[in-house]
Amino acid sequence: MAKITLIGAGSVEFTRNLLADILTFPELRQSRIALHDIQPDRLQTAVAIARHTNQKTGAGATIETHLDRRAALDGADYVVNEIQVGGYDASLIDFRIPAKYGLRQTIGDTIGVGGIFRGLRTIPVMLGIGRDMAALCPGAILLNYANPMAMIPWAVYAGTPFGNVVGVCHSVRDTHAFLAKTVGVPEDEIAFTTAGFNHQAFVLRFERNGESLYPMLDEAIARDPEGLGRRVRVEIYRRFGYFPTESSEHSAEYVPWFMGRDEEVARYRIPVDEYLRRCEENLGEYDEMKALIASGRGFGVEPTHELASNIIHSMVTGTRRVEYVNVRNGGLISSLPAECCVEVPALVDRGGVRPIAVGALPSQCAALNRTFLNVVELTVRAVLEERRDLVYQAAYVDPNAAANLTLDQIRSMCDELLEAHSELLPGGLRGG
């Protein structure tokens, strides 16, 4: 009987989806589910979701709850991480302080100033999880959903004795589905190969029967200049020749050309502060879920095919799948550094997660990735070495910040953010 631990189980939508999958797989119905969250109220909501799902599916799983993380991890076979350190309040700070300096953001959780500071407060917790897993469940796999994805697995395998960490994200899967729909070809008839960094990977192969479908995409864009034609990711595709995996609103803040110009924000319909609106919606959905549970009405249980649950199922049963994962490069993408965390396809079965090498990226894609990498690497090092100067330098080279602020403004903004987030940061980053 596998022990599956959910860290940050109070992220109730993730918990609901994962358990709907896990408890409808016949081979996983008897699993031992350990739920952990640091907020008692959210943990109790997660427990209620788990019990309802268990009852609705007739699965017969064992449900445990733990405010203590080490107890939840002890003896685990699979660990799924969903944490958001600091929650909505911390995200609000990540947006409000940069906005004082005139710096716009949309999602702010990957790179950019918001991504840097989310990394600074999330990585220390992840290092604790990595050390705990090395001691309590060294044979387990850590499946990470938390952003900034390109930073977190890297920090865990570089900064702890635990190395079996795999990042999972929907962006590649959703991009493949979007492209198939846009060109009007069934997805199961298309051969895709996609690689790069999480949220900035590129669709390198987009073919049916050996023939590129990119010309069909070009035709679809030409037919819809006011729809497809006014999207940031489409513009990046036009300029660089390969379709990127992240949404237009998110992609806009990874590059220097859009966020600081009113006319470009309007032209590409970029939703500034989008993440704050999503957070507020999520808080409302959480309250609705609590009310549903409290009323006894419950909710429907339908499989969602989450990546983590698919990976767990393949490892338990030997069912072969190809999934996109975020792992240590080690030559998987030959044009990027070995130590960084890249997004590539992987074969998953009873033998585990085995990434597939893709070789070198097209030069222009590697160039964009290296700009992304600068921010990621400096932020990871800032935490591992507890160096405040590396925080400044990560922000100095961030494309959005560098395009819109002076060096003095960036340093002053970082000082305000470091002070505001002080309680969540390593000691070496707190001082003036």
Kindly report, residue by residue over 268-281, the tens digit of the pLDDT: 999 999 999 999 99
Phi, psi dihedrals of residue 258, rounded to the nearest 5°: -120, -55
Phi, psi dihedrals of residue 61, rounded to the nearest 5°: -70, 155
Q: Which H or E run includes 181?
A: helix 171-183
Domain-embedded: residue 14 = yes
Residue 51 confidence (pLDDT) above 70? yes
pLDDT tens, residue by residue, 119-161: 999 999 999 999 999 999 999 999 999 999 999 999 999 999 9
pLDDT for the residue 351? 96
Q: Torsion over CA of 240, 246, 252 and 253, rounded to 10 degrees?
A: -120
pLDDT for the residue 432? 56
Residue 355 pLDDT class (50, 70, 90 cuts): very high
Burial classification of residue 15, based on how many CB atoms lie within 10 Å of its CB (0-12 exposed, 13-18 middle, 19 or more buried): buried
Domain that holds residue 29: 3-94+112-167
Domain-embedded: residue 242 = no
- The answer to whether 170 is a known catalytic residue is yes
Domain-embedded: residue 220 = no
How many structural domains comprise the chain?
1
- What are the tokens at 193? 């190969």
pLDDT for the residue 301? 87
| Range with lowest mean pLDDT among 47-61, 351-365, 403-417 | 47-61
Domain-embedded: residue 70 = yes
For 150, what's the count of Cα atoms within 13 Å in the CB-facing half-sphere? Answer: 30
pLDDT for the residue 294? 82
CATH number at residue 27: 3.40.50.720
Domain-embedded: residue 39 = yes
Rg from Cα positions in the chain: 21
Domain-embedded: residue 294 = no
CA 233 to chain centroid: 18
Domain-embedded: residue 44 = yes
Which residue in the list 66, 170, 199, 421 is annotated as catalytic? 170
Please state, rounded to an integer, the average pLDDT across all residues of the chain. Answer: 96
Residue 393 confidence (pLDDT) above 70? yes
| Range with lowest mean pLDDT among 70-84, 129-143, 284-298 | 284-298
Residue 78 pLDDT class (50, 70, 90 cuts): very high
Domain-embedded: residue 21 = yes
Express as a percent the part of the chain with pLDDT over 70: 100
Q: Please report, in angstroms and rounded to a whole number, the separation of the first and last CA atoms in the chain.
A: 51
